């Protein structure tokens, strides 16, 4: 088994340093892409929540209108029954 001589230690250190810098650069790049993706998804979910809130408001309004119509219809039916009995 041959040993690495001291002359090659600096070259080896340069290779290790370059590999470390490359790994850190790739990690930072992937992390940035991941952050951009998370921000985009978060923005999409915010838009969906806003739209869902608008739909809930509209459904609530429609429910109130239907309740009012049913109440009026019940009163009309009651008046028709009274007039039929008289």
What pLDDT, in 10s, does the model give residues 41-51?
Answer: 999 999 999 99
Q: Over the stretch 45-79, which tens digit does the pLDDT of each residue have?
A: 999 999 999 999 999 999 999 999 998 888 888 77
Distance CA 12, CA 21 (A): 14
Q: Is residue 73 part of a domain?
A: yes
- Maximum distance among all alpha carbons in the chain? 119
Residue 6 lies in a domain: no
Residue 24 lies in a domain: no
Residues 6+ apart with CB under 8 A from 4: 12
- Residue 78 resides in a domain: yes
Q: Is residue 49 domain-resident?
A: yes
Q: Domains in the chain: how many in total? A: 1
Residue range of the domain that includes 73:
34-86
Tell me, yes or no, whether 26 lies in a domain. Answer: no
* Assigned domain for 40 exists: yes
């Amino acid at each position: 088994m041959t040993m690495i001589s001291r002359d090659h230690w600096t070259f080896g250190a340069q290779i290790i340093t370059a590999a470390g810098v490359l790994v850190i650069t790739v990690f930072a790049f992937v992390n940035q892409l991941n952050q951009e993706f998370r921000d985009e998804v978060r923005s999409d979910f915010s838009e969906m929540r806003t739209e869902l809130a608008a739909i809930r408001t509209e459904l609530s309004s429609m429910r109130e209108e239907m309740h009012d119509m049913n109440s009026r219809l019940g009163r009309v039916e009651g008046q028709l029954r009274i007039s039929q009995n008289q």
